[in-house]
Structure 1
């Protein structure tokens, strides 16, 4: 089952590894006889002590086994978000640095630097992760993504005070609900849903590119181009950006389900421990996407008001 998130293109997340096949009955009988004989001969106190120590020891973690675990992936994910938050503060301060009473215009340099740097690193990480995972590149991506998030958040906050905390709370709420539903088994990724998701994502990307072209050429007006346009539904004017934004939040939420599903699959397949970095990278990509979409929805709503 393929994921819509390009972070999970490593075979360890894609393939189910078959379980061990039990030996034939005759082999089992022979094994049981050999085991019984060995048991009667193993009277050495040192052997017994070793067995007791093995059973008393705590379960082996990812460090001991060299395998991917949920706990280790969570720790890596939190580390990446910590880097993102630190550089987000830098991006925020950098954006607001030139703002004064005489000059209320912020700089968009950290926004652009973070976006371009993050995009380039995301492509490098995605295309090279099948052969080797490089945590340094993933940390660098988190740093650039932090600049982008901090820069765009400061810009929106200057236009609509209080919008960042609103978007952050909404993002945490959506992530929490999706995680709870996935953990309870009520929501899972499926082959059919993945196909629908892929078609919807491609359609959204085409719409986004068309919108950018129309904005650059001056065909559309407003802060968000086509998103700022309104359509009439039963006599009620509803911003197009609100309708599309809600649909995209649903897409981002399903992408998060795919991320959790791929991490669970990697753990089940006994993937190498280093692939936990790809799990954290994938979740960070999706959560940032979700935050930006929610930020835009709130901006459109507040802009209309």
Structure 2
């Protein structure tokens, strides 16, 4: 089953066929009998008839523990970079100081966007690029959170952080205990909606450069609607992430693919946080 999500589409193992092309039985991860031998024993001979040489060294299969560990590292990098940005940027006391924070947030957002595209379409995942993405994302979130804290109060940032982890835990519990199944139609709708939201964000940024705005991501009624829709999309993205991680573990992907799963989960968590932050700010602003 081919994924619509570019993060997982470039990893052949995140499908019903394993990474070596053998079809998998649904549920136990075993290949059809009679089709080849254990892939770990495969090798090629040298052209001169010498001894076989190993093509690729496996680091072992991906496990839930390895995914959790890599995701924890990525989230920690985001948090450290965000905290460093918050501390090192000047206090929000004037327009000039606010401009410096906006500059830091913009640089972080642009760097994170470029690296997210690279990581999404890169066939062989790079841990260094995933961590670089997390660092840039942390800079962007640090600047954004600091401006929201100054404008709406510290309760907004704290609530968004706690709400993000609550959304993650609640979605994981629902996925596990309600036995949620992800179909192709669901993937297509969610992926299209995410790309549509990203496109609207870019359009709003371009219009902002010319002093115009549609108010899609402001603090009015339309901004409230997009924040709620964005939050719902973030939860749907987590469901897709859990489904693909489950398939990857079942198909016994190489442990390196844990970084791909960690990248996808980090993107979903950041997405949820930013929309929660906007939602709480709008609700706080209307009180």
Query: For this structure pair, what is the TM-score category when the shorter chain's length is used for normalisation?
Result: 0.7 to 0.9
The gaps in structure 1 that reach 5 residues or longer are 24-63, 231-238
Identify, as 1 or 2, the structure richer in helix.
1
User: Does the Cα contact within 8 Å between 1:228 and 1:241 map onto a contact in 2?
Assistant: yes
- Cα displacement string for residues 44-73 of structure 1 (whole angstroms, at most 9, x for unaligned residues): xxxxxxxxxxxxxxxxxxxx9711111111
**Post-superposition offset of 1:199:** 3.3
Counterpart of 1:182 (choices 172, 175, 179) is: 175
- Structure 1 position 157 matched with structure 2 position 157: no
Which residue of structure 2 aligns with residue 279 of structure 1?
A: 261
Offset, 1:15: 3.7
Query: In 1, Cα distance between the equivalents of 2:195 and 2:73?
Result: 31
Computed over aligned residues only, the root mean square deviation of the Cα atoms, in angstroms, reads 2.6
Structure 1 residues 218 and 2 mapped into 2: Cα distance closer, same or farther (>3 Å)?
A: farther
| CA displacement at 1:126 relative to structure 2 | 2.3
How far does the alpha carbon of each residue in 1:178-197 deviate from its partner, in whole angstroms, 9 at most, with x for none? 01011214323211211222
Q: Separation in 2 of the partners of 1:110 and 1:219?
A: 22
Alignment correspondent of 2:279 = 297
Q: Find the residue that maps to 2:153 and give its secondary structure.
A: coil
Change (3 A) 1:4 1:113: farther
Contact 2:98–2:147 (8 Å) recurs in 1: no
Check if 1:245 corresponds to 2:227: yes
Counterpart in the other structure of 1:172: 165
Q: Distance in 1 between matches of 2:93 and 2:147?
A: 14
Larger Rg: 1
Distance in structure 1 (CA, Å) of the matches to 2:96 and 2:5:
41
Which digits, 9 at most, give the CA deviation of each residue in 1:162-182, with x for residues without a partner?
210011121111111101011
For the structure 1 residues 274 and 290, does the alpha-carbon distance in structure 2 shift closer, same or farther, using more than 3 Å as the test?
Answer: same
- 1:51: which partner in 2? none
Distance 2:203 2:95 in 1: 36
Unaligned runs of 5+ in 2: 18-22, 25-29, 35-57
Which residue pairs with 2:208 in the alignment? 215
* SS of corresponding position for 2:98: coil
Match 2:133 to one of 114, 117, 141: 141
From 193, 196, 216, the equivalent of 1:200 is 193
In 1: Cα distance, 2:150 partner to 2:127 partner = 34
Q: Could you say which residue in structure 1 is the equivalent of 2:216? A: 226
Distance 1:2 1:159 in 2: 45
1:59 corresponds in structure 2 to none
Deviation at 1:103, TM superposition (A): 6.6
**1:94, 1:110 within 8 Å by CA — same for their partners in 2?**
no
Work out the number of aligned pairs and report it. Answer: 252
Determine whether 1:288 maps to 2:282. no
* Alignment partner, residue 92 of structure 1: 86
Instruction: Quote the residue 2:107 is aligned against.
Output: 113
Q: Distance in 1 between matches of 2:84 and 2:111?
A: 15
